[in-house]
Structure 1
Amino acid sequence: MTLILGLLLDALMGEPRWLWSRLPHPAVLMGACVRFIDTRTNHGRNRRAKGTVAFALLCLAFIALGLVLAAIPGRVVDVVVLAVLLAQRSLVDHVRLVATALRQSLPAGRTAVAQIVGRETKTLDAPAISRAAIESAAENLSDGVIAPALWFAIGGLPGLLLYKITNTADSMIGYRTPQYAEFGWAAARFDDLLNLIPARLTALLIWLTAPRRAALPAILAEAPRHRSPNAGWPEAAMAQVLGIALSGPRTYDGQRRDYPFVNAAGRHAIGPADIDNACAVLWRTWALALLGALLLSLF
Structure 2
Amino acid sequence: MSTAFLLVCALCLDAALGEPDWLWSRVKHPAVLIGNLIGWLDKRLNHGAQRRLKGVAVVALLVCGALIIGRALTLLGPVVEIIACAILLAQKSLVSHVRDVGAGLAVSLEDGRGKVAMIVSRDTRDMTQAQVARSAIESAAENLSDGVIAPAFWFLLGGLPGLLVYKAVNTADSMIGYRSEKYRDFGWASARLDDVLNLIPARLTCVMIVALSGQWARWPQMVADARRHISPNAGWPEAAMARALNVALAGPRSYDGQLRDLAWVNGDAPREIGASEVFRACDLLWRVWGLALGLVSVSVGVSFIF
TM bin (shorter chain): over 0.9
Q: Which whole-Å CA distance do the structure 1 matches of 2:193 and 2:216 have between them? A: 34
Q: Which whole-Å CA distance do the structure 1 matches of 2:297 and 2:28 have between them? A: 32
Amino acid at match of 1:25: H
Q: How far did residue 217 of structure 1 move?
A: 2.7
Residue 34 of structure 1 corresponds to which residue in structure 2? 38
In the alignment, is the contact (CA less than 8 A) between 1:213 and 1:240 conserved in 2?
no
In the alignment, is the contact (CA less than 8 A) between 1:67 and 1:157 conserved in 2?
yes
Structure 2 residue 15 is the aligned partner of structure 1 residue 11: yes
Unaligned stretches of 5+ residues in structure 1: none
Counterpart selection for 1:63 from 56, 62, 67 = 67
Q: How far did residue 213 of structure 1 move?
A: 8.2
Amino acid at match of 2:147: G
Residue 201 of structure 1 corresponds to which residue in structure 2? 204
Q: How far did residue 298 of structure 1 move?
A: 2.5
Amino acid at match of 2:276: A
Query: 1:205-257 deviations in whole A, cap 9, x for unaligned?
Result: 11111115872232222211211100000000000101110000001111110
Indicate the RMSD between aligned Cα atoms, in angstroms: 1.0
SS at match of 2:119: coil
In the alignment, is the contact (CA less than 8 A) between 1:213 and 1:241 conserved in 2?
no
Structure 2 residue 54 is the aligned partner of structure 1 residue 46: no
Amino acid at match of 1:218: Q
Q: How far did residue 9 of structure 1 move?
A: 0.4
Amino acid at match of 1:174: G
Q: How does 1:214-253 map to 2 (within 5 A)?
A: 215-253=218-256
- When residues 61 and 212 of structure 1 are mapped into structure 2, their CA distance, relative to the original with a 3 A threshold, is closer
Residue 265 of structure 1 corresponds to which residue in structure 2? 268
Q: Which whole-Å CA distance do the structure 2 matches of 1:3 and 1:92 have between them? A: 19
Unaligned stretches of 5+ residues in structure 2: none
Q: Which whole-Å CA distance do the structure 2 matches of 1:2 and 1:31 have between them? A: 26
Structure 2 residue 149 is the aligned partner of structure 1 residue 146: yes
Between stretches 144-153 and 45-54, larger displacement belongs to 45-54
TM (normalized to structure 2)? Answer: 0.96
Report the identity percentage: 53
Q: How far did residue 157 of structure 1 move?
A: 0.4
Q: How far did residue 297 of structure 1 move?
A: 1.7
Counterpart selection for 1:96 from 89, 99, 104 = 99
* Runs of 4+ more than 6 Å apart: none
Q: Which whole-Å CA distance do the structure 1 matches of 2:245 and 2:125 have between them? A: 26
In the alignment, is the contact (CA less than 8 A) between 1:207 and 1:214 conserved in 2?
no
Amino acid at match of 1:20: W
Q: Which whole-Å CA distance do the structure 2 matches of 1:244 and 1:61 have between them? A: 42
Residue 77 of structure 1 corresponds to which residue in structure 2? 80
Amino acid at match of 1:190: L
- When residues 214 and 195 of structure 1 are mapped into structure 2, their CA distance, relative to the original with a 3 A threshold, is same
Q: Which whole-Å CA distance do the structure 1 matches of 2:19 and 2:270 have between them? A: 34
Amino acid at match of 1:63: L
Residue 22 of structure 1 corresponds to which residue in structure 2? 26
Q: Which whole-Å CA distance do the structure 2 matches of 1:246 and 1:225 have between them? A: 13
